[in-house]
Amino acid sequence: MGDSDGAHADLVVRKVTVTPIRARSGDPIRIEVVWMHWGELINNYYESTSANVLANGKVVASMLFSYEFGASLGDEYRHTFIWDTKGVAPGEYRIRAEVPLRLDTTPYDNFLDVKEPLVLFPAGAAFPAGEEQGGSAVTENSYWKKL
């Protein structure tokens, strides 16, 4: 880590989009995550962490992310994860995106839970009456929606 205590490090997960929200087991699921730097970096502070997507508490996609002194207040980062659901059991899945930072001053905004569950139907099965494949679920951090 740099030569600072990281006291001003702050990442905020702002938005998560899941597409499709209704699919069959084996279909790829696209999860777009937007997070931003909302702190002040001093003394060459840096930290590496993972940006993760979880389904029912299990990591299904991840990438290494380094947060460093070159960041500016308000810098936005976005990444699209693809979850390969091949071999995944049908059912409802609660999606969470997280970018945990060890010394974050506000760890409660390092994650965002998608409100609508992702529903996987059996591979090759017809969708129940009234259900269609597709759709999207978008969840935004409520604080940032006000600004």
At 3, the pLDDT band (50, 70, 90 cuts) reads: very low
Question: Of the given ranges (17-21, 82-86, 92-96, 138-142), which has the lowest mean pLDDT?
Answer: 138-142
| Alpha carbon distances (Å) from 126 to 5, 6, 75, 122 | 55, 52, 44, 8
Summarised one tens digit per residue, pLDDT across range 68-126 is 666 677 778 899 999 999 999 999 999 999 988 777 778 888 899 999 999 999 998 88
137 or 8, greater pLDDT? 137
* pTM of the predicted protein model: 0.85
97 or 141, greater pLDDT? 97
Q: What torsion, rounded to 10 degrees, do the Cα atoms 122, 32, 103, 5 define? A: 150
Domains of the chain: 11-126 (2.60.40.10)
Summarised one tens digit per residue, pLDDT across range 122-135 is 998 888 877 788 99
Residues 6 or more apart in contact with residue 121 via CB below 8 angstroms: 22, 23, 24, 25, 90, 127, 128, 131
Residue 6 pLDDT: 47
Residue 82 pLDDT: 98
